[in-house]
Chain A
Amino acid sequence: MSSNDDVSSIADASRPNAGRIYDYLLGGNHNFEIDRQAAEQLKQIAPGTTQVVRLIRWFLGEAVQRLGSEGFNYFLDFASGLPTADHIHQIAPKGTKVVYSDIDPVTVAYAKEIIRDNPDVACVECDIREPGTLLNSSVVKEMFGKQRKIACGMNGIAWFLDDHSLAHALEVVYEWAGEGSKLFISDGDTRRITKATEDIFEFYRKVGQPVYSRSLDTITKLIGKWNVEEPGFLPLTEWIDIDKKLVETSREEVVGGYFVGAILTK
């Protein structure tokens, strides 16, 4: 089906959408009943999903606050989902230029509607495996001009990419970005995998979305020329400073420990 047909299918509220499902899992309101039903099914199969999506989003918040306070006011983001509350543009300092992107044209169409009154924010359709689509887009050219010292997000997407695709995406962004640029990324560490995490991955495999587990050693090789900034790759729970005991006492089995995040620098 053509891209135009996909955009037109926004009007079809009878089919669940990944971005809307994700929003519901985060507790948002940008979803329909069909999305909520799909999300509840996912939660039944993989109860840890609710934890994971929040941890990933909180890590984004931490990274953006940190980078914002360092003076970064140009942000690119891959696999953004819906730019609802507490996404980059609402955490970063006022006036920060943000360009989101997502592979799903329906999500992008919704995103554009959500941010349409904000001149500093845009959304572009882009598959992270071809990052040039975003980097060389007219939107980025118009909003960023010649600015190349940027902050970039690859949050919550790395485990959907095979090693080659991840390395390629990181390399292309590295080459495009200017000196001093930073990139925040989250991925998984196979040393910390749990049953709850496995359940989530199994669900994705069943719906035809492959998931790739890798070790921290592999991740540090795949980042190529990027340097890992202190404190290095940490579990997301440590980034967010959630007390371990707090997490352990939550009703669901801890899954946050598998996921790690880091800030990379050029």
Chain B
Amino acid sequence: MNDEIMRPSIGNAPKQELKKILQIFTQHQAEVEEHLSNHFEASVFDNRYTLHPRRLAHIGTEILGELIRFINELNPETCREQGRRAAAEGISQGPLYGVVHILRRFLGSYLYEDSGTINKLAHRCIDTFLGALMDGFVEEREAQILKDQEQMRRALSTALEQQRRELHIKNHAIHTSISGIILCDLEGTITYANPAILSMLDLPTSKELIGKPCFTYWGEQGKDVFSVLLETGGWQGEISISGRDQLPLEVAVSASVIRDAVDTPIGIISFFYDISERKHLEAQFRQAQKMEALGQLAGGIVHDFNNLLTAISGYSQLALLELPESSKTYQDFVQIKTATDRGRELTQELRMFTRQTSSKREPLNLNSVVEETHKLLERTFPPEIKIVLHLDPELSGINANASQMSQMLMNLCVNARDAIMSSLEKKNNNGEKHGELVIESYNVELDWRSAARYLHAQPGRYVCLSILDSGGGIPQRNLDHLFEPFFTTKGEKTGTGLGLAVVYGIVQNHDGFIDVHSREGSGSAFNIYLPVFEADQVDEPYHTYTPDLTVGKGTILVAEDNPQVRGMIVRALEESGYSVIAAKDGSDAIAIYEKKGASIDLVILDMLMPHVGGRDCFYRLKEIDSKARILLMTGFTANGSIDDFLDEGAAGVIIKPFELQHFTTTIQKALSGRQKKPG
């Protein structure tokens, strides 16, 4: 209430009249206080909870006291202050307004006899007092409400900001996901596509997808799946889509219905996961299993085949020693010998595929192998093929068998040569006359992510040898069979189909892996990864063994379970001047040695015999005579036991099938006491 309005109405009132009004209140103060206290206590549950019930008894007194002060001083500010305190304490508006009625009723009971002037003045005093009181009360209540509502507003604002951040994150989560995501409405119309799916489909913008049916991208069964999706709630499948450069991309798709808080469908979301890598690894795994099975099969065949070749080759050589060179029969045996030589090459290659080869390795720089092989290629390759070398001079060393590395590289280059020449023949009409074979070497470090792409790869440092050809490329359907033995796309006369199988076996044997990239019409790249040998690099030249031919003297015990092989060896040794005792197996050899060991100069021991095998026989003979000279004969050395036996006193090892010249030289050296490398 405006003080200026109030003063004329009360401020100008006769002081006598005001005094009389004051007297009434002060004389009957206790009665008024009781009325007011009862009034407030009756409203115990009407006020804000902050007003404790115990206060109720005192509020009336305070209000009355303030009224009396007001009539005395006519200062409305103290009334307003009282109103503010009442609001702060929690008194509600209703009980406050009720004070007016109580005071008026009270006045009415005491002033009814008075003239209208005092009565009216008294009422004006009460109204003015209460007006000021309510001014203060409302001001404070409004401030309270504003303050409390401001807290609510801040809470809302914080929540909205948090919600905005959450939405921002969720939006970006979808937008930046490496999985492809498509959103569509319940009719299946695409409303959003994230960059990942655009990349998978090789589309420049999402405009290419927006508005289209989402089930178009769910494979052949997409439409059927969509028709029941609302019932099923979700679907998963694997499909092949045409990705970048029209290449097929294996993708796992999952589609599900988006529902709101009350389970009402509001949209559909599809996820697309590139599973090409997984498929690639699965294919590698299947291939590895297949190769393993083939290897086991081939391994079994190699052993028996070796024995047959040994017998045929040996007897052929013995016959050639007897026959005159001019005779027709001599030529026949030469052909037989040539055929068995060829058979031996085949078993050599098969052994490499099955990893039944010497595991003797040395620190080696692949660049030296490449350079040696390059010289041979330059001499033997057709002039139409240009050979280019890009060799890293800082190439790390590997721990490898040099001759196997050479074999591997040669096989790959021969394969590349054949591909280039075949391509040139087909392209001859276009006038293309040259092809290119590039051999690269470089160091590479595979992290876990790169290594995970290859079944047999571990993270770490590798040396990579790449053979790239400008041939016609390999059809996709052949890539899975590339390393299978006897798989060939060439004519019968140009290949046995073991070249790449040998490469596979060699690489596996050296804990490496092969990565082939090829596309029809664009050539091929064979990348051979071999683990780095963490030691000083040494360029060890590789060399071959050149035997001497010699005869000798002495008594030799031959333990060989195969009768043809045993017969051939006995005869060869006798022809070479030795006395020979034959044993049909390990136990027979032990029994003979126990009786005649003192007269036996050398034991030739086949490692694979029934009952008492070569290993047990070796140890038993050594027990009988620690100085016994024992030459081991085998066609299977995959477990690296050669070195073990040499360390334990074996006189040497001979690998079947063998040349008789080489065989007799080995005998002579064994008898002389020198250890030699297996040949």
List A residues at the B interface (Cβ < 8 Å). 1, 4-5, 7-8, 10-11, 13, 26-32, 50-51, 53-54, 57-58, 61, 84-86, 109-110, 113-114, 240-243, 246-247, 249-252
B44 x A28 contact (CB < 8 A): no
Asked if B45 and A250 sit within 8 Å, CB to CB, the answer is yes
Say yes or no: B42 contacts A250, CB within 8 Å.
yes
Which residues of chain B are near A61, meaning CB under 8 Å? 52
Report, nearest first, the 5 A-B pairs whose CB atoms are least far apart: A27-B48, A10-B159, A29-B148, A113-B155, A26-B49
The answer to whether A86 and B49 touch across the interface, beta carbons within 8 angstroms, is: yes
Residues of B within 8 A of A11 (CB): 156, 159-160, 163
Docked Cα-Cα span, A243 to B40, in Å, equals 13
- Using A8-B163, A11-B160, A86-B49 as known contacts, say yes or no to A29 and B149 having CB atoms under 8 A apart: yes
CB-based contact B144/A29 at 8 Å: yes
A189 to B49, CA, bound (A): 24
A1 neighbours in B (Cβ, 8 Å): 261
Partner of A58, one of B53, B92, B151, B155: B53
Please state if A53 and B156 are interface contacts (CB–CB under 8 Å): no
Inter-chain contact B41/A246, CB cutoff 8 Å: yes
Q: B411 an interface residue at 8 Å Cβ cutoff? A: no
Closest residue of A by beta carbon distance from B158: A113
CB-CB under 8 A from B476, the residues of chain A are none
Chain A residue contacts of B45, Cβ below 8 A: 50-51, 54, 250-252
Encode B149-188 as 1/0 by CB contact (under 8 A) with A: 1011011101110110010000000000000000000000
State the CA gap A199–B96 with chains docked (Å). Answer: 31
Whether B266 is near chain A, meaning CB under 8 Å from some CB there, is no
Question: Using Cβ atoms and an 8 Å threshold, which residues of chain A touch B261?
Answer: 1, 5
Contact across chains for B44 and A250 when beta carbons are under 8 A apart: yes
- Provide the bound-state CA to CA distance between A41 and B261, in Å: 25
CB distance from B5 to the nearest CB of A (A): 31
B90 at the interface (CB under 8 A from A): yes
B284 near A: Cβ within 8 Å?
no
Contacts of B543 in A (CB 8 A): none
Contacts of A249 in B (CB 8 A): 42
The residue in chain A whose Cβ has the minimal distance to the Cβ of B159 is: A10
Nearest opposing residue in chain A for B148, CB measure: A29
Query: In the complex, are the beta carbons of B162 and A7 less than 8 A apart?
Result: yes
Question: A57 — which chain B residues lie within 8 A by C-beta?
Answer: 49
Q: How far, in whole Å, are A109 and B157 apart by their CA atoms in the complex?
A: 12
Asked whether B50 is an interface residue with its Cβ less than 8 Å from the other chain, the reply is: yes
Q: Is B595 in contact with chain A by the CB < 8 A criterion?
A: no
Chain A nearest CB, measured from B151 CB (Å)? 5
Check A4 against B44 for contact (C-beta < 8 Å): no
Chain A residues near B191: list those with CB within 8 A. Answer: none
How far in angstroms is the closest Cβ of chain A from B537?
Answer: 56
Q: Is the CB of A27 within 8 A of B92?
A: yes
Quick check: A27 and B47 within 8 Å, CB to CB?
Answer: yes
B96 CB to closest chain A CB (Å) equals 14
Interface residue B145 (Cβ < 8 Å from any Cβ of A): yes
Bound-state CA distance A197–B47 (Å) is 21
Assess whether B379 is interfacial by the CB under 8 Å rule. Answer: no
Which residues of the other chain, A, contact B144 by a CB distance below 8 angstroms? 29
CB distance from B564 to the nearest CB of A (A): 80
Q: Which residues of A contact B151 (CB under 8 A)?
A: 30, 113-114
A13 neighbours in B (Cβ, 8 Å): 156
Asked if B328 lies at the interface with its beta carbon under 8 angstroms from chain A, I say: no
CB nearest neighbor in A for B165? A8
Instruction: Determine how close the nearest CB of chain B comes to the CB of A240; give it in whole angstroms.
Output: 6
Contact of B152 among A27, A30, A246, A252 (CB under 8 A): A30
Chain B 21-59 interface 0/1 with A at a Cβ cutoff of 8 Å (1 = within) = 000000000000000000001101101111011100000
* A7 to B52 CA separation, bound complex (whole angstroms): 34
Cα A1 to Cα B263 in complex, Å, equals: 10
A110 and B152 in contact, given A8-B159, A247-B44, A250-B44 (Cβ under 8 angstroms): yes
- The answer to whether A30 and B42 have CB atoms under 8 Å apart is no
Residues of chain B within 8 A (CB-CB) of A109 are 155, 158-159
CA distance A228 to B154 in the complex (A): 42
Residues of A near B90 (CB, < 8 A) are 27
- Across-interface contacts of A28 in B (CB, < 8 A): 48-49, 148
Taking the closest CB of chain A, its distance from the CB of B36, in whole angstroms, is 15
Q: 1/0 per position for B604-634, CB-CB distance to A under 8 A?
A: 0000000000000000000000000000000
- Give the docked Cα–Cα distance between A109 and B163 (Å): 13
Chain A residues in 8 Å Cβ range of B44: 242, 246-247, 250
Contact between chains at B149 and A113 (CB < 8 Å): no
State in angstroms the CA–CA spacing of A182 and B50 once bound together. 24
CA distance A242 to B162 in the complex (A): 45
Q: Complex Cα distance A109/B154, Å?
A: 11
Contact with A along B449-472 (1 / 0, CB 8 A): 000000000000000000000000
CB distance from B371 to the nearest CB of A (A): 65
Question: Which one of A4, A10, A53, A246 lies within 8 Å of B155 (CB-CB)?
Answer: A10
In the complex, what residues of A have CB within 8 A of residue B159's CB? 7-8, 10-11, 109
- Give the chain A neighbours of B155 by CB distance below 8 A: 10, 109-110, 113-114
Instruction: Name the distance in Å between A52's Cβ and chain B's nearest Cβ.
Output: 10
Chain B residues near A4: list those with CB within 8 A: 166
In the complex, what's the smallest C-beta–C-beta distance from B157 to chain A, in angstroms? 9
The A-contacting residues of B in range 234-292, CB under 8 angstroms, are 261
B159 to chain A, nearest CB (A): 4
Given known A8-B159, A109-B155, A110-B155, contact A58–B49 (CB-CB < 8 A): yes
- Alpha-carbon gap, A85 to B148, bound state (A): 10
7 additional A-B pairs beyond A27-B92, A54-B49, A114-B151, beta carbons within 8 Å, are A30-B151, A30-B152, A109-B159, A113-B155, A242-B53, A246-B41, A250-B45
Q: Mark B83-126, 1 if CB is under 8 A from A, else 0.
A: 00000001010000000000000000000000000000000000
Residues of B within 8 A of A54 (CB): 45, 49
A123 to chain B, nearest CB (A): 12
Question: B43 → chain A, closest Cβ, in Å?
Answer: 8
List B contacts of A246 (CB < 8 A): 41-42, 44, 53
Q: Could you say which residues of chain B place their CB within 8 Å of the CB of A50?
A: 45
Select which of A8, A26, A27, A251 is within 8 A of B162 by beta carbon: A8
Q: How far is the CA of A252 from the CA of B42 in the complex (A)?
A: 11
- 25 A-B pairs (CB sep. < 8 Å): A4-B166, A11-B156, A11-B163, A26-B48, A27-B47, A27-B49, A29-B145, A31-B152, A50-B45, A51-B45, A61-B52, A85-B50, A86-B49, A109-B155, A109-B158, A109-B159, A113-B151, A240-B53, A240-B54, A241-B54, A242-B53, A246-B41, A246-B44, A246-B53, A247-B44
How far is the CB of B363 from the nearest CB of chain A, in Å? 57
For B167, the closest partner residue in chain A by CB is: A8
In the complex, chain A residues whose CB is within 8 Å of the CB of B50: 27, 85-86
Closest CB-CB distance, B657 to chain A, in whole Å? Answer: 74
Which chain B residues border A58 with CB–CB below 8 Å?
Answer: 49, 52-53
Inter-chain contacts of B52 with A (CB < 8 A)? 58, 61, 240
| Minimum C-beta distance from B52 to chain A (A) | 6
Q: Determine the chain B residues whose CB is within 8 A of the CB of A29 once the complex forms.
A: 144-145, 148-149
Instruction: Please give the distance in Å from B93's CB to the nearest CB on chain A.
Output: 11
In Å, the complex CA distance between A131 and B503 comes to 68
Residues of B within 8 A of A84 (CB): 148
Nearest CB in chain B to that of A54: its residue: B49
B142 to chain A, nearest CB (A): 10
Contacting residues of chain B (122-153) with chain A, CB-CB under 8 angstroms? 144-145, 148-149, 151-152
Nearest A residue to B156, CB-CB: A11
- Complex Cα distance A53/B149, Å? 22
> How far, in whole Å, are A27 and B148 apart by their CA atoms in the complex?
12
Q: Roughly how many angstroms separate A32 CA and B47 CA in the complex, as a whole number? A: 19
In the assembled complex, the Cα of A242 lies from the Cα of B144 at a distance in Å of 27
**Which residues from 565 to 593 on chain B have a C-beta closer than 8 Å to any C-beta of chain A?**
none
| Nearest B residue (CB) for A245 | B41
Nearest-neighbor residue (CB-CB) of A13 within chain B: B156
Output the nearest chain B residue to A86 by Cβ-Cβ distance. B50
**Residue of B with least CB distance to A110:** B155
Shortest Cβ distance from A6 into chain B, in angstroms? 10
* A113 to B156 Cα, complex, angstroms: 9
| Distance of A41 Cα from B50 Cα, bound (Å) | 23
